[in-house]
Structure formats: structure tokens, C-alpha cells
Amino acid sequence: MIDKSIILDDKKFTVGIFDDSDKLLHAVDTLKKKGVKIFDCYTPFPVHHLDRALGYERTNITIGAFLCGMLGSLTGFTLAYYMNVVDWPMIIGGKPQDITVFTSFIPVIFELTILFTAFGMVILFFARSRMIHGIKEDLLCRRQTDDHMVIAIDNAESQDLTNSEIQSLLTSEGAIEVDGSRVSFNTSLTDEEELVQQLMTQ
Amino acid sequence: MYSADIRQPLVTAGKTYSDVTADVCRPIENKPTNSWWLGFSIGVLLLLLLVVTLAWTVWEGIGVWNTNKSVMWGWDITNFVFWVGIGHAGTLISAVLLLFRQKWRMSINRSAEAMTIFAVFCAAIFPLFHMGRVWLGFWPLPLPNALGSLWVNFNSPLLWDVFAISTYLSVSLVFWYLGLIPDIATVRDRATSKARKFWYGFFAMGWNGSAKSWGRYEVVALILAGISTPLVLSVHTIVSMDFATSVIPGWHTTIFPPYFVAGAIFSGFGMVLTLLLIARYVMNYQDYITTQHLEAMTKVILLTGSVVGLAYITEFVIAAYSGYEYEQYAFANRMFGPYAWAYWTMMFCNLMAPQVFWSKWARTTPWFIFIISIVVNIGMWFERFVIIVTSLHRDFLPSSWVMYHATWVEVGIFLGTFGLFFTCFFLFAKFLPVINMSEIKTIIKDKE
């Protein structure tokens, strides 16, 4: 196991916890309008338009996927052409075995394109999102993968509003819980007692 | 959010987010029920039968099958095509229906994808053991080898099949796993035992539902759906080319690719219905898999069943019209020859039986749908049997005409693959969330 949390480090966060996605979106909008810099949001399901509200640009993973697909096509063609035309042409029934049989290479080229695209894209996704087997998950609320949604604001970041102003803003937006300095914790790698301790100290 | 009053809610009983989590995690977090144990035990028993029959096949050689006559494919490839066909519904539901924005897919896609993967496992057994020497099963791979530099033949549809099916299996696994990650994270964060924390933590890959990750995740899922759609169509197309590129009367037809793909969707939905009707009842998921879902699936059955039926008739008309006497004989032999019973079973199960779904009552009555789904499964098995056995048992030379009957070993292997399938499915239902929680949570306030 990788005993390091690389996502949130030891940052302290001001968090607002919501139980409704519409309220969350509205709160993000309001905070953004007041010029508050939001670190990230954590939701149990994809909330529509949340990425736009947070000002995130559309990911360019698709470009990587396209390149992987091209590599797949090239691999498929090279494999078939080298093996069946260059290295060892199998002449069956006196039929030619050269570039004119390209059409019968198409199924393999097609399948390898899909294979490379799928795997390349998913690996890129994992790398970009810093996901790997055995990494510690950084949670700010135990129920953020169940039914609660979290707005996290990095305390180290300089904001126009004071911390208490942000907190009262979050409360007025309908947050069911607001916390001015929360550090991340994880559930899978710590003992239950340790976790309770962690939560108590927060 | 778009909603019209004439539409029904997709999840009934006014479930909240935490209700969804609790309902879906219940089987994972509690001891298995008696009905789970019953199903799992039957699965394991049949799996043992698979082990025994395969071991016997390897020990004694495939002479223990009856396929060593002119019917060289027999039950074996029949079963292969049957299972690959079943493996088509999962990706179809999650990929094609995602592209068409059919929200009803969300409660069934997880289990349908699982079914796909297990069905492809079952399918892979047949060609591997049909090789006779299963330990040489890596030979179809394009590897440098000790036989000079003889490579695989890229002009052969059988090689295309190797690429198509292994790509299909691996891409389906990736798609399934990607969809599972947020839900595994949910189980992880509710876990109380150390082992569960560790394992779900391990497979959740640190997922914490950050909006940045969700943004990428949705794009990746969409592109995966986009590329899986032609993939799923290509797989059964290539399977059909195993037949269509030959010169055997009854196989050598251009209609095969679309006809096989429609048949695969048809049989896949048949199996999805069979499994989900059981799961829905045993696991109490009536609020998630509503009669509305069943109705949507029966409509797909009706459509694809009619496409398949049309293909049967087209195939027959073309054969009659071809003026090619061998082709004409192959079809006459199917209808009135010694295997006519199989042909008419197929016609009844695939062409006639699904037509009951024109009636609203039939589309919304679970026990009736269950019966028809079994009928569809039987019909689609017979379709492959008819295509393979009737075309092979009487070839161009009447002196080599034979009848083909399976031995107990062949029957045992077939039943055994059901054991593998159900064992995997029951384990899946115990250890992984059967319903896609993170997707369902986005639509619990929606209507269809």
C-alpha cells in the first residue's frame, strides 16, 4: 500500500456540507460571485453543471484517447502486414499475399484501435485523477460517497472574504454542516478507533 | 431537469440518496440469505460438472464428444455462439442506451455488464477445448514461435474472432470496473470490518468523488460507450463471418452479420430478463427495476425477435430464389429433414413467442415475461444448433451424411457453463453493488 496521500496533503479546509445537489450548485454559484476561490467539490454522484459552475474546462483526455487509438490502428496494420506480407507470406490457393489483401486486415486493425483507445484512455484517466490501487483516499466527510456533498475551500488560499464570512455564507446557502478547519482523513486504511480519534480532533 | 407528468418515475417509493445506498449495500453488508445459498450451491454443483467433463475431455481426448464426424462443430460451437450472443446485452445496454440517453438503463446496466463478462468467460471455454489440446491454446496469438517464422493467418475470420473476443472481454471489463469504482468507494466508506475496508479501499483506487474527477469520469465513460458500440456490433459480425466466409450451403450468406447481431441482442436481453426477474424478486429491488424497466426490455425483445424472424424468412426466400440446388436443399432439409423439430422449435421460440409482447399485459406481468425469456433463451440456442448441425450433417457427398447426437460429456460441458455463469453471478451479487448507485442517484428525482 502507498502510505501517502497525494491529493489533499495536509491542507486545512473550510467545508460546507450539503444534502441536496441544487443547494450545492446554488452555493457554488454564490461563492463564485463573491469571489471565493473554491478548492474542489466532492459529491457521491456526478452533479450536472457543477464542473461548469466551478469553472473547470472540459478535459482533454479525449485527445490522448485519440492518439492511443491511432497507435492501435498502426499496431494492427504493422502486425498484420509484417507477419503476413513481409516475413512469411502464406500463399493459399495461389492468391496474392501483399498490400491488396489489406481489407482482410481491417478487422484486426479495428479491434486493436478500440483496445488501445479504451485502455489508453482509462490509464490516462487514472493518472490524471491520481488514482492507483492502494492509494489512500482523502475524505472530508464520511458520507461524501453516500448522500452528502462537500464544498471545500483551501484555508491557505488568500480570499477576499474572511473565514467566518465564508462560513456564514455556506450556512445561509443551506449547508447542514459547516467546519472552519478540517483535514482530510481516510476510512479504508485506518483502524476504527483511530478514525474516531481523528474525527474527534477535527 | 426535464420531466413530463405523463411519464412514470424511474425509481418508485420516493427513495432518498441514503435509501439507495442502504438498499444496494444490504446484500454486501449482511450475511447471505437462504435463497442466495440455494442458488450459489446449484451454481457450484454445475461448475463441478464442468470441471469433471472438461477434465475427462482433456484426459481422454475430444473423441469423447460426437463431433468427429462431418458435424465437426456440433454442440461445442453452438454453445460458443450461444454464450457470445448472451454476452452482447450488457455492453449494448450500457453503451448504446447511454448514447441514446435512455435513463432506464441505469438500474440494470451493472448486472447486465457483469453478465456479459461471465458469458464471455463461458464462451471462451468452447473454442479453447475444441482445439483438442487446450494447453496449446495460445497458438492463435501472433507470437514468435518455434515453427520457423510461421505466423497466424490474418485472412482468417477465426483469427479475427480471437482479436474481437479478447478485445471485447477486456474492454467490457474496463468499462464495468470504471463504473464500479465510485460504488466500491461507497461500500468502502460504510465498511465496518477490516477486511472489507482493505479490499474495497484497494479497488476504489482512492476515489473520493471530487468534481474534477467526475468531470473526467463522465467524458471517459461517454467515449468508452462510443467505442464500445461499434465494438459490440463488430464482435458478433465477426462471429457470423466464421460461418459466412465459408462455402457451406446454409452458411454462405451475406445476411449473416446483421442477422447475428440482432439475434445476439435478442438472446442477450432474454438472459438479462431471466436473471433480473430472479434478482429483483430475491433481492427485493422492485422499486429500482420497475415494471417500466421490464416493459422497455420486452419492447427490445419484440423488436429484435421480429428482426431475427424476418432474417429467417429472408434467408429462406433467397435460398429458394437462388437457383442453387445445394442451398435450396439445405433449407428444405432444415424445414422437413431429420432436424425439422429443432427448426420449428427455433421458429416458434424466436419468431412467434415474442409477438405476445404486443400486448401491454404481457409486457408488464413479471411471471409471464420470465416464461417468455426462458423460451427466448431456448430458441436462440436452437437457432445456433440449426445453423451448425443441419448445414453440416448432410454435405455435398451423400455417402458422408450422418446424424449427430451429443454425448453426455458435451451436454455436461454445456450445463457446466451455466454453473460457471451462475457461480460468478451469485458471487458478484454478494460482493459488488448490483445496481449502479452513483448513476441511480442522479435520476431518483427524475421521470423517464
CATH number at residue B110: 1.20.1630.10
Does residue A4 or residue B443 have the better pLDDT? Answer: B443
The mean pLDDT value for B391-411 works out to 88
Interface check B21 vs A, CB under 8 A? yes
Within a domain: B41 = yes
Interface check B330 vs A, CB under 8 A? no
Indicate the helix (H) or strand (E) that contains A154.
Answer: strand A149-154
Judged by CB atoms closer than 8 Å, whether chains meet at A51 and B215 is answered as yes
Smallest Cβ–Cβ distance between A42 and the set B164, B200, B208 belongs to B208
Within a domain: B332 = yes
Judged by CB atoms closer than 8 Å, whether chains meet at B210 and A112 is answered as no
Name the β-bridge partners of A139: A185
Q: Which of residues 3-42 of A touch B (CB under 8 A)?
A: 7, 19, 40-42
* pLDDT computed for residue A41 by the predictor: 87
d(CA A90, CA A84): 7
Contact by Cβ (8 Å): A104, A150: no
Rounded to a whole number, what is the distance in Å from the CA of A165 to chain B's nearest CA?
24
C-alpha cell at B32: 447471505
Within a domain: B249 = yes
Most A CBs within 10 Å, among B210, B228, B442, to test the A interface? B210
Which residue is it, cell 437457432? B383
Q: Which of residues 135-194 of A touch B (CB under 8 A)?
A: 135-139, 142-147, 186-189, 191-192
C-alpha cell at B222: 461517454
Does residue A195 or residue A87 have the better pLDDT? Answer: A87
- What whole-number percentage of chain B has pLDDT above 70? 96
Q: Which of residues 128-187 of B touch A (CB under 8 A)?
A: 142, 148-155, 157, 159-160, 163-164, 167, 170-171, 174-175, 178, 181-182, 185-186
* A159-163, B312-316, B348-352, range with the lowest pLDDT: A159-163
* pLDDT computed for residue B302 by the predictor: 93
Within a domain: B6 = no
Backbone CA torsion sign across A15, A19, A21, A25: negative
| Structural class in CATH, domain A13-57+137-201 | alpha beta
The mean pLDDT value for B238-244 works out to 91
* pLDDT computed for residue B148 by the predictor: 61
Q: Is the pLDDT of residue A172 over 60?
A: yes
* pLDDT computed for residue A87 by the predictor: 84
Judged by CB atoms closer than 8 Å, whether chains meet at B206 and A41 is answered as no
- What whole-number percentage of chain B has pLDDT above 90? 38
In tens, the pLDDT along A113-161 reads 999 999 999 999 988 888 888 777 788 888 888 888 888 888 777 777 7
Smallest Cβ–Cβ distance between B209 and the set A44, A83, A118 belongs to A44
Q: Which of residues 117-136 of A touch B (CB under 8 A)?
A: 117-119, 121-122, 125-126, 128-136
CB atoms within 10 A of CB A78: 13
CA-nearest residue to A85 within chain B is B154
Q: A10-19, A55-64, B367-376: which has the highest mean pLDDT? A: B367-376
Judged by CB atoms closer than 8 Å, whether chains meet at B18 and A114 is answered as no
CB atoms within 10 A of CB B399: 5
Domain total in chain B: 1
CB atoms within 10 A of CB B41: 12
* pLDDT computed for residue A2 by the predictor: 42
All residues of chain A having their beta carbon less than 8 Å from the beta carbon of residue B17 are 19, 44-45, 146-147
Q: Which of B222, B231, B98 is nearest to B172 (CA)?
A: B231
Q: Is the pLDDT of residue A200 over 80?
A: no
The mean pLDDT value for B406-425 works out to 92
Mean pLDDT of chain A: 82
The mean pLDDT value for A103-116 works out to 92
* A178-187, B308-317, B429-438, range with the lowest pLDDT: A178-187
CA-nearest residue to A186 within chain B is B189
Helix axes B109-130, B408-431, angle to 10 degrees: 150
* pLDDT computed for residue A8 by the predictor: 64
Judged by CB atoms closer than 8 Å, whether chains meet at B206 and A132 is answered as yes
C-alpha cell at A161: 472574504
Within a domain: B172 = yes
* pLDDT computed for residue B7 by the predictor: 67
The mean pLDDT value for B262-267 works out to 90
* pLDDT computed for residue B282 by the predictor: 82
* B7-21, B94-108, B231-245, range with the lowest pLDDT: B7-21
Domain span at residue B287? 17-141+152-443
Within a domain: B128 = yes
- Give the residue extent of every domain in chain A: 13-57+137-201, 61-128
Contact by Cβ (8 Å): B121, B417: no
Judged by CB atoms closer than 8 Å, whether chains meet at B150 and A110 is answered as no
